Structure 1
């Protein structure tokens, strides 16, 4: 596979992620290369011939815009910009995000409105194809005049400075370029500024997160279908004709997933008759799953659309537009580098993540509650335990605590920092988006949410095993009147027979199941088999250490393997 940067087409999410994960090479379309070279010649001639002041070309940066720069210092101006702006802090950002950032910056420059040479775009491409990934600190951007600090760290590697990851090691950029038979890039007029104008770092985090959340949402739908079956809920909450009367796109889509995942379920059919189940409605965590997760679906969709617009846009300042003679020499200053359009979509993704995590946690709470889990017992302890063993067993109680802790941490991550402006650059840049820090927190919150979902999946697997072990399910059917009468008479005869003792009697209402009725829908049985066969989470028959296995389930979800396990039966297409 090869991803082509072409100014006449847009990059889709799939290609962006493929480049980020190193699964494809990148190249520049010949027509785009010719266009870039032609437009560079046009602006160079215009600047030299007319000698007009142009920001980024022959003027200082930021509040130094009033300072003119000598012709012989124009290249040094660009290099100084990169070196002085590389002031990031914190841990190195994930390499996938950095590679996506490099791709997005190259694609933005390739649109043809930045006035750079095609060789600059090719320098990015060469580093991507060689597997040279700059070390970029995660913090330091206010997300306004571009992600200045992160993009400067990337640009440093381009000119042979700073440190990079290369062939599994962190080395000096110059050494990595030499080993890959590449040479440090020499910046010319406007090119240093062009490397830093834009919020591609924030947008890269957003797109990588969007890709992960699309996997997680489909996994959440699978878990919803499993939870509904093991909690003896009906599938009617997800009927297509039911959702047609309130057709929010996300709710319709998620309901369709859950509906199809629940079809041909013997355990669901075993209590389809109301007289068997006796319960009118389930808690919202099951009954409203499509509406809740559907809102997350719509937030993710909206974010993907906007983030892809950004990914395929020119974000420089200034922008070179066509003049009346058809030449791209009309130098227009503006604010396409401002991160607010991206920041609000990153927050949409944070909202979607919080919605998924919150719903998953509420279901975990129910699993360990013997009063609400429909006969699964306290803390999902194994049914064959003796009374004495039960008294010393905690079962799966503590996983709910871990889930609560992770959810609370996500709530802390979700502070809307894009609403809290801090003026910078002596008031010249007096409104900044602060979206990049938010994006970093989003990326770090994703593993927390997938762990919460991994905890729910552990509960589901244990609950399925318990259902298969039990011979009955609870029922709330009405008892004949004579039963209450006989029980009352029995209690009357028994009371008074012991000093200070009050006797009680009740009937445990249970509905017997055949072995065939203890099975779930084909798609869900396929997932259950996969987890059991791969020993991802063995049945908890007695207290044991579970943390590593739950972490494994979290990775199973985030990698998309959970979706693959059910896809042999049902395809969960996003659109």
Structure 2
């Protein structure tokens, strides 16, 4: 099996990912989800033969009229009777129709595309009884960026994402005008798009409809997109802390390796090492023994500074665990029943329950709340002269003009967002209805809802990080201005954090080492425009992602370390 590094090099060389049942990574899922590369379906005869053999096996059992769940029975709490051979011929199509019950806004295209690739990756393993031609049709839709329209409400993550995935299946197999797709920014019916590309309608055969909808593909796709973005935001979080530490003239002692070897949690050691790397070369940080006698500040920094590794270490460890869980789920077969062609048997189970992803997404939202509250504590110190070692109140740029209030309004906005992120940190996986689907799905994961809530949390967190970056840059400017009349930030800030500082200046159209700090007079430039620009850059994987590329690589290396 190829290593992740080898696969990444292959991808860069070809801009094409082959679907062959080999391990697919979160990065690859997100690339496909965002339509950044094409797919190639395997031509491996062994893989194709296995898929076809499992399909023929199901058809044979169906003809023999042996009881098979979802093939010649009803579904869920109504799977009590054997259906006639005639009834089984229309059962799969009917499954797609009765599940078309979604509501709410349409999901972003990236989630639908992500679900389609994860589903293909599962079906190609040959344990689901589906024809190879159907997998080919899914890949055709992906490569032509034909995206089925799927509503945001309808899945409880129990028997997989039944309702959302029925919309994809209905559009791709051409089940009528009611199933819609988006193609070249124009909404069309699945039927019309198939006519446009001369694609024949697909009459679903026994078990095929069930294989297409009985999957955790959708909730896993959303989770993969969430985690990919969180990694970037986490790297930026560490950069923000490092900039704030420098502006507060913090001590480097709490990050020395000796301390963390005495409490050797992997995440804690990683965070301390990363902060040391981020602060290397800075003239703004100090050792504890450099504290001047009689200086009106604490001998040790407050906990939000001193305990960064101990506070963010568990988050790093959690991200590492969740990364592994998402990749396992994305490389799993999650429908039911499954076909063991080595032993020619059909096995009923519950791989469709999205509990791993549900709990993982609950944890991500809790982590985001913790990270934002930690940053809130740092911001609170930055704006208070009692705690910020001589910086102006509310980080006012031009203190000679007493009507200037500095970043006071920005702090209020940050204060409005942080409690919402904490609220999103509440769990949903434990709030499942025990009576779902006639008491058949009497435990259910709520994984789809958890993943969507996490997407909303991360969207809000992106705004919060954008605000935090403004505080960090303004504080650095004011600190350097206080120490250096020439106001040359590059000579004082560490090289790694200067990359981010420089990126912010470029994004916001500000000169480096200019005459004035980032915000001078309140009315010079509206701060909401800066928030918008920074957030857009993060969302577009722009200058800031490039500026913290080294830290992102370190985060990824930490995640992959034990694989």
Q: Verify same fold: TM over 0.5.
A: yes
Task: Summarize the Cα distance change of 1:566–1:210 in structure 2 as closer, same or farther, 3 Å threshold.
Answer: closer
Cα deviation, residue 341, structure 1: 2.1
Q: Which aligned pairs between 1:9-158 and structure 2 lie closer than 5 A?
A: 9-31=22-44, 32-48=47-63, 50-158=64-172
Residue 548 of structure 1 aligns with which residue? 529
Range with greater deviation from structure 2 (16-25 or 535-544):
535-544
Deviation per residue, 1:102-123 (Å, 9 max, x gap): 1111111112111111112111
Unaligned runs of 5+ in 1: 473-511
> For 1:572, what is the secondary structure of its paired residue?
helix
Task: Summarize the Cα distance change of 1:527–1:354 in structure 2 as closer, same or farther, 3 Å threshold.
Answer: same
Aligned residue pairs: how many?
526
Residue 453 of structure 1 aligns with which residue? 465
Residue 293 of structure 1 aligns with which residue? 312
Could you tell me how far apart the structure 2 residues matched to 1:353 and 1:312 are? Answer: 26
For the 8 Å contact 2:58–2:206, the answer to whether it is kept is no
> For 2:105, what is the secondary structure of its paired residue?
strand
| 2:138 counterpart of 1:165 | no
| 2:545 counterpart of 1:572 | no
Select 1:374's aligned residue among 383, 389, 406.
389
Range with greater deviation from structure 2 (369-378 or 525-534):
525-534
Task: Summarize the Cα distance change of 1:222–1:559 in structure 2 as closer, same or farther, 3 Å threshold.
Answer: farther
Cα deviation, residue 95, structure 1: 1.1
Could you tell me how far apart the structure 1 residues matched to 2:551 and 2:376 are? Answer: 27
Range with greater deviation from structure 2 (30-39 or 174-183):
174-183
Unaligned runs of 5+ in 2: 1-14, 512-517, 558-563
Residue 214 of structure 2 aligns with which residue? 197
Could you tell me how far apart the structure 2 residues matched to 1:100 and 1:516 are? Answer: 43
Deviation per residue, 1:404-463 (Å, 9 max, x gap): 211211222222121112121221221111222121111011121111111111011111
Task: Summarize the Cα distance change of 1:171–1:47 in structure 2 as closer, same or farther, 3 Å threshold.
Answer: closer
For the 8 Å contact 1:527–1:562, the answer to whether it is kept is yes
Cα deviation, residue 33, structure 1: 1.9
Could you tell me how far apart the structure 1 residues matched to 2:357 and 2:551 are? Answer: 37
Cα deviation, residue 127, structure 1: 0.8
Larger radius of gyration: 1
Range with greater deviation from structure 2 (404-413 or 557-566):
557-566
Cα deviation, residue 40, structure 1: 1.4
| 2:544 counterpart of 1:562 | yes
Q: Which aligned pairs between 1:339-418 and structure 2 lie closer than 5 A?
A: 339-382=354-397, 384-386=398-400, 389-390=401-402, 392-418=403-429
For the 8 Å contact 2:365–2:426, the answer to whether it is kept is no
Residue 484 of structure 1 aligns with which residue? none
Cα deviation, residue 183, structure 1: 3.6
| 2:482 counterpart of 1:467 | no
Task: Summarize the Cα distance change of 1:518–1:234 in structure 2 as closer, same or farther, 3 Å threshold.
Answer: farther
Select 2:326's aligned residue among 307, 331, 352.
307
Could you tell me how far apart the structure 2 residues matched to 1:300 and 1:124 are? Answer: 31
For the 8 Å contact 1:267–1:518, the answer to whether it is kept is no
Could you tell me how far apart the structure 2 residues matched to 1:254 and 1:176 are? Answer: 50
RMSD of aligned Cα (Å): 2.4
> For 1:433, what is the secondary structure of its paired residue?
coil
For the 8 Å contact 2:325–2:357, the answer to whether it is kept is yes
> For 1:30, what is the secondary structure of its paired residue?
coil
Cα deviation, residue 304, structure 1: 1.1
Cα deviation, residue 270, structure 1: 9.6
Task: Summarize the Cα distance change of 1:187–1:570 in structure 2 as closer, same or farther, 3 Å threshold.
Answer: closer
Q: Which aligned pairs between 1:193-232 and structure 2 lie closer than 5 A?
A: 193-232=210-249
> For 2:554, what is the secondary structure of its paired residue?
coil
Task: Summarize the Cα distance change of 1:211–1:570 in structure 2 as closer, same or farther, 3 Å threshold.
Answer: closer
Task: Summarize the Cα distance change of 1:136–1:282 in structure 2 as closer, same or farther, 3 Å threshold.
Answer: same
For the 8 Å contact 2:58–2:129, the answer to whether it is kept is yes
Task: Summarize the Cα distance change of 1:120–1:542 in structure 2 as closer, same or farther, 3 Å threshold.
Answer: same
Deviation per residue, 1:225-283 (Å, 9 max, x gap): 11111111022222223222212111212222111110111222599722276642112
Residue 318 of structure 1 aligns with which residue? 337
Task: Summarize the Cα distance change of 1:318–1:567 in structure 2 as closer, same or farther, 3 Å threshold.
Answer: closer
Residue 3 of structure 2 aligns with which residue? none
Could you tell me how far apart the structure 2 residues matched to 1:565 and 1:240 are? Answer: 25
Could you tell me how far apart the structure 1 residues matched to 2:499 and 2:191 are? Answer: 51
TM-score by length of 2: 0.88
Cα deviation, residue 177, structure 1: 3.0
For the 8 Å contact 2:507–2:534, the answer to whether it is kept is no
Deviation per residue, 1:64-85 (Å, 9 max, x gap): 2123323233232111111110
